[in-house]
Structure 1
Amino acid sequence: MWGTHPESQPPPALGRKPDGTGEVSEETASSLLLVGEQLEDLTGLEELLAPLRHPVHKVASWSEAPGALLDESLACILVDARRSWSVGLELARRLLSYPHARYIPVLFLGAHSCGVADLMRGDTLGTVDCLLEPLSPDILRLKVGMYLEQHRRQALMRAALERAEHAEAVARESERMLHTLLGNVPGMVYRSTTREPWSLSYASQAALALSGYVAEDFMEGRVSWGELIHPEDAPRVREEVKRALAMRSPFTLTYRIHTRTGEERWVWERGVGIFGSEAQALEGFIFDITSFRGAQQERERLHEQLEFQHQRLQAILQQLPVAVHLAEAPSGRTLNFNAQAEALLGHAMLPCTCVEDYAQYHAIHPDGRRYAAEEYPISRVLATGKPQPQEELLYDRPDGSVRVFLINAGPIWDAKGKLQAVVASFMDITALKRAETHQTFLASVSETLASSLDYEATLAHVVQRAVPALGDGCTLDMLEPDGSLRRLAVAHGDSVRKEISQELARHQPLRLEDPTGPGAVTRTGNTELVAEVTDELLVRYAKNSRHLELLRGTGITSSLIVPLHARDRTFGALSFFYCRGGQPRASRRYGQEEQRLAEDLGRRAALAVDNASLYREAQRAVQLRDDFLSVASHELKTPLTPLNLKLSALSREIPRCCDQEPRAQELQRHLEMARRQLRKLSMLISALFDISRIAQGRLTLDVTETDLGEVLGEVAAWFAPEAARVGSKLWVEGEPHVPGRWDRLRLEQVITNLLSNAIRYGAGRPIRARVESDGARARLVVRDEGIGISPEAQDRIFGKFERAVSDRHYGGLGLGLYITRSIVEAMGGTIRVESRLGQGSTFTVDLPRSRQE
């Protein structure tokens, strides 16, 4: 019977269905295998078994291997041994050699002739049962049906076992997964009571890392969670949990706990009540958010710090004396600005979200064209990333004034080198620019006025320069000797209006009696400023309709008239005016600043006129002086000649008439003194005469072949006695003969003046005179060791009537060196001096040895 074989083992588990349930379908759960010698025998058996409605497999050839059919679906193997019991036994052995065959019942079908020995042999093979002929279909079907039912039940039992094993495996896997999940949750998973102190019936292993207590401490009641909650936070936690339970909703809490070591930590808890008829437990998660809370607090601190920095930046921006505009990169959107920016622009900052919006602003070029959006310095920095430093920009404000801004724009980069923003700062330099322009203008005008004594030409040029520096137009009216006013010059930026201004002067001549205008300013010497010229003013000022028409044609909107006043005299008036349609300006009206500039210009122009007048008077005085000197020197020389002759005759008579007289030598000394004084007087008169000729340009030279060494020797011989009288020794050195073409008398005069100076200022020390030649040039050097000349006096001693010392102690007219220089330069040479106070002076004269006449 089934399972009686001594080597029988439990049957293997049935294969699971693809869905993993372990159940076997009714169609494939059980099948039968028929094995025999003849196919027709097997077919007959198949027909007998057909009512059982189970699949039947047939193996009719003993040579075929039936192993492929031996699987778990076989409920019974029927071996047809009716023809040969021995063959059936052999086949049974072969079947039993397959592992699966050991668990499949084998039913032998034998002939009625089978004996007990045959049946015993079949039993040794593990045969389950045997049916002998004649075969009863009912018994056969009953036997096989019993095997089929056993197979079905066994299959169901195995499937149930497999399902149980599967369920157990799933449960173990779920438990493992839950344990893994709970063990890897970054916070503690808990289950607790619903009331304080919230004792935990379950706590995950993360409790240790979170609180310093192991899970068992909580679950065994050694510590409760409520004991860890910070006292300040406990009331709030209690109320939140109570409200959530009442509303049967989850709760979320953030509070502090104290760990086992006393450390304070911030935790985040998410929980929910477990309800039956009432709340039974709390379940949830608790996470350590200390680092997050610290980061949050740090973020709040940084936010507060950022807000403080922002407020400080705002305060700094608002306190800066310059305007500031901050724009976002790369869009160009306005981020920030200060009140100074709006004050300088003269209007509120315009809303800008992109670079194109900058076209709303009113920057203009010098010719009046509006700036394009991309021309602004901020736009250029946004486009290139390069700073735009120190740029002047004209801005047309809503009040009609044009201001000059000095603007700087630069990029702001982040740590990665990315352009984040652009900052522009600008200040109003209109006043500074105007002052600079005015100073430059005044300096230029002063240079022009000083360049010539023809004041009419220079003043006409100044009038032209005044436009546009001081207005759109300018006129100059000068006072004539007969008391009338003459329009000397007109300048205007508009040629048509310039013609109208000239026509005005012709149509309605100016008079000193006029109540306003240039005539009144010239008469009173007071400035006249009209900030706004209205049509009503023009109507009151006009003499007739034609006059009014011309006045209106000038388009004057503001006027300023200043006098040309100097040394208690008024020479005329300068008129300035702004006109409609003139150049863009910081102001279209004259004010105090323009008045001061115009008055300064008027004073300088008046001084130029006065200086020109004084110069003409001085020229006339100099001419009179030169004429007087020429006549006086000529007339003074006339009595000197006979006086010199008489002294010469007297010198000859004294030895002859008074040779024996004791006072003869004394008389001779007096006579010699008189002759020296006469010679000095003659030299002074000659100097005055030379000065007159030099001033008139009539200094003439008589150039002949002359020996400079010889001339020096002669003049030195004349001055040797005079040098000896003052204690100086006169040395003549150098080459004795240096020929050249010079005026001998003038050369004597040069050497005489230099030796005379050396004797006068030599302080009784040696004097050396030397002549030397250097190819085409000759040099005369006179050196004394006297008082010397100060550095500041060395340039002016060659001037007319100039002296380096007081004439009270040394005398003289201060003309000798002036005449000497004039003579030397007339002969094509140069003279210079080298001197130090207390160490003497050296005069050096260089002369060309040949001169083109």
Structure 2
Amino acid sequence: MPRYAGSRPGKRRCRPCSASTSDRYTADTTWSRRAESSTMNFEQAVNILLVDDRPENLLALESILGNLGHQLVMAHSGQAALKALLRQDFAVILLDVQMPGLDGFETAELIRGRERSQHTPIIFLTALDRSDARVFKGYSVGAVDFLFKPFMPEVLRSKVAVFVDLFRKTQEIQRHAEELELRVRERTSELTVANRTLRAEINERRRAEEALRYQLDLNRAITNNTAEALFMLDAEGRTTFMNPAAEQMFGWRQAELLGKVLHDHIHHRHPDGRTFPTAECPLGEVFRSGEALRNHEDLFVHRDGTYIPVYCSNVPIHVDGKVTGAVVSVNDITQRKRAEEERERLYREAQEAIQARDEFLSIASHELKTPLTALQLQLQMLLRSASKNGGAKLTPERLLQKLHLADQQTDRLAGLINDLLDVARIRTGRIEIRLEEVDLTEVVRDVLARFEEQITQAGCSVWLRAEAPLLAHWDRSRLEQVFTNLLSNAIKYGPGKPIEIWVNGDATTAELTVQDHGIGIAPEHLERIFVRFERAVSANHYGGLGLGLYIVRQIVEALGGTIRVTSELGHGSTFTVALPRSVAVAEAEIR
């Protein structure tokens, strides 16, 4: 096996930059050399940074990598490496872990902290600690690989070659991008010049034609620039003119409607499909009465068959006391109608939100008051017992019982408050997820042990089938919160009925299933139960704030999982939580 230390015989060694041979290995010194190669030219070489406080190790690395044909820059300390990174870029950094002053991990953190070098690959080299903790720390500070001395030179050269190739390809992409940007700028400049030339020609032609168009433009200026749709009709209701706004509003071109009765094209059908007779058309009344129709709200028909809500006016044209035609103006009020509908919708939603708020406050006040009242009663009973005969009748067993009941009520009150706090955190995107190695089976058994008395009081029996252990990196407290909610619901909605629990999984996914045989959930309520403050049953019969399953879903999704439910009304419900055993939690969700 090739040795790590030492250099090959006859190999020309590098000399320190701006330093004599005698002080080439002093602290904070870097030096570089061009490695010799017959297969690579100067332009293909890249920079490789070697960092080690032991000169013999640097010489060994030089010997191993010298024939790759790259610029080897050597640093005797972490400080020297950081200075080298200020001067130039590197394809890869070989960094010793054990160094005085800044060690390899600290140096790597500083390298990753600089924008220019934060993506430079780092390979840690060490001959001492091989523990998983040290390796994990190396990867956590940004290493792409971890090699233990002694190592095979071929392995090191191969790994370095991969990152050198990646560096070259990145530089090539950047070079092509710069060339493309230059070409785009050049082409843009050419197009700008051509555009200016073309614009000058157009302006010249426009000026030449302006005198010819002046009279026509003057006549059309008002009609062509108004936002209203304008039609001119003859005495028979036939179209003699329509402006561009009318064309755009109804989809017909002027040439298509000239000489045709306007009513037959934009007002000929009721919304229910019935024919709208011309004799009943309010627009035709102007020809019969000779009086103007103004601000009439109606529904006109687009060419594609859709209906347009409008305000319209029809003003007659009188010549010698006779109606010889009319001017019809139309305003599309679709946006106004939508705004009115949106205001109505928002008003309804606001009323529903106010109602939901009032209902929630009523429920919340009741739920919070219940444990407070019970707690107050227990304390009052303790005070009365203590005040009678100096507390002689207050035995330790009775005192312990009263304190236990009071503690249960404070736990219930704390749970309600925590649910409200979790909802506030979820709405602001600040749900806390703290990952650690957790045994899901152990979590289930611990929660069941805490609920043993409650399960007995409810007359339920629990059947558990679990694989042990089922390990992964999750948030233990959040998993307890999820299972506690599911188990509490199973007890609440299925008193006296059995509860079945499964914990199983494979290499990628873990599943927790809780099945009860209680009242069940109607199909139309299966999605509502996961909505904040929603419930499938009346709050008068079952307590709670309607937050439990909402919080469960948010926690499960924050852990990258899913929750699903199947239920049959009157026969119970089954909730299944699926969690990935390799959790990727979004950074914004971790606080």
TM, length-normalised to structure 1: 0.29
Q: Which has the larger radius of gyration?
A: 1
Structure scoring higher RCO (CA < 8 A, sep ≥ 6) equals: 2
TM, length-normalised to structure 2: 0.41
